[in-house]
Amino acid sequence: EPEVTQTPSHQVTQMGQEVILRCVPISNHLYFYWYRQILGQKVEFLVSFYNNEISEKSEIFDDQFSVERPDGSNFTLKIRSTKLEDSAMYFCATHPAGYSYEQYFGPGTRLTVT
Amino acid sequence: AQSVTQPDIHITVSEGASLELRCNYSYGATPYLFWYVQSPGQGLQLLLKYFSGDTLVQGIKGFEAEFKRSQSSFNLRKPSVHWSDAAEYFCAVGAASGGGADGLTFGKGTHLIIQP
């Protein structure tokens, strides 16, 4: 069964550094999302992406964050200057075209900012 | 704005006993509703979903959920739990309108503990 994959599984970075988290969506999926989950808390929506542009973003998704699909396969989340509070699990999710809201989640990337 | 409330932070159930996890949502129109399960250190796996139609939906692993519009609830049930069901369970709501790229709103989760 096709799966969403994410790399790396764990990233440790120093405060102020830039990080890029990568997601490979399921091949026929056209809607892409990033969520984050701070340890012990609920999953929070960050941003959705469709047709090569941001569709919706939450108030968490500020100017430090950006997303792109640089090569038509990977979907990336960039954090320009990481803060301690960016430490979290970041999940990518995707779903096919149309009004299917069944989002398929990747295994996540654990980001630790020191 | 939509919101999801899972009133039980922890629930402990004996193996073989029945289970009900509560979920209440707030949304101005017809919602799309989901239950996800997360095992320690793992991603989110979809258990079941409600879009429309029959208000009792069946999911994987023997789970079911019932949508009750009058109560704004979407409770998850299982008649007999197994030790492998121990995990974190998240209820989520999505907008049933718009262009299809709306993010899900999750509840805070319920941690299920299974006693032998």
Q: What does the DSSP assignment read for chain A?
A: ----EEE-SEEEE-TT--EEEEEE--TTEEEEEEEEE-TTS-EEEEEEEETTEEEEE-TT--TTEEEE-TTSS-EEEEESS--GGG-EEEEEEEEESSS---PEE---EEEEE-
Query: pLDDT (tens digit, 9 = 90+) per residue, A68-88?
Result: 998 878 999 999 999 999 999
Query: pLDDT (tens digit, 9 = 90+) per residue, B57-98?
Result: 999 999 999 999 999 999 999 999 999 999 999 999 987 655
Across the interface, do B94 and A101 touch by the CB < 8 Å criterion?
Answer: yes
Minimum-distance CB partner of A42 among B49, B99, B108: B108
- Rounded to whole angstroms, how far apart are CA atoms A49 and A30? 8
- Rounded to whole angstroms, how far apart are CA atoms A54 and A107? 22
- Measured between beta carbons, which residues in chain A are less than 8 angstroms from residue B5? none
- Rounded to whole angstroms, how far apart are CA atoms A104 and B103? 12
Query: What's the pLDDT score for residue A28?
Result: 84
Query: pLDDT (tens digit, 9 = 90+) per residue, A8-36?
Result: 999 999 999 999 999 999 888 889 999 99
Query: What's the pLDDT score for residue A40?
Result: 85
Mutate to test the interface with B, among A29, A33, A90, A101 (most CBs of B within 10 A): A101
Minimum-distance CB partner of A43 among B32, B44, B99: B44
Across the interface, do A31 and B46 touch by the CB < 8 Å criterion?
Answer: no
| Mean pLDDT of all residues in B49-58 | 91
